[in-house]
Structure 1
Amino acid sequence: MLHVYIEPVPKGQWGPIDGYRIETQDGTRLSGELLRSERLAVSQAKLHGYVPLLATVRIPDKAVAEHWTPADKAPVTV
């Protein structure tokens, strides 16, 4: 199964998180709209057959493995 990344939006900015996007390793967005919670983003990714990874830092880098944790091993915020 292909891994996808659940990333907070806006990227690279400090402040409140407006929502989440589902992206592949190369940055292709799988979610057309902004998803309001990590839980909803994880559900969408699993529904489409992907293995979701959640960011563990506010400004994640897909090339750094420590910035990501599998969704089934992380507590999901609402």
Structure 2
Amino acid sequence: MANVFVEARPKGRPEGSAIEGYVVEDHTENVLGSFNTQEEAIAWAKAHHHSPVVARVRYLNDKKKPDHWRPA
């Protein structure tokens, strides 16, 4: 199972602004799906045999640094 990244949108939003939705991305930032909630995004990833990970801290989301991510 490949890791996929569940990220909030819009990307680069200012601190405290509303989250509009979540996407599931692969390591090359290709969007695999868009969802209204993080829970929906995680469930979709698991149903498609991926290993979803979420950022430990929202603004630290470098996909090349594994310690920025935790399993969902």
Residues 1-78 of structure 1: pairs in structure 2 closer than 5 A: 1-14=1-14, 15-31=17-33, 34-59=34-59, 60-71=61-72
Q: TM-score, normalised by structure 2?
A: 0.87
Task: List alignment gaps of at least 5 residues for structure 1.
Answer: 72-78
TM-score, normalising length: structure 1: 0.81
Spell out, residue by residue over 1:37-73, the C-alpha distance to the aligned partner (whole angstroms, 9 max, x if none): 11100000011110000112222111122221000xx
C-alpha RMSD of the superposition:
1.0
Identity within the alignment, %: 36
Q: How many residues align?
A: 69
Structure 2 segments unaligned to the other structure (5+ residues): none
Moved over 3 A (4+): none
| Higher relative strand content | 2
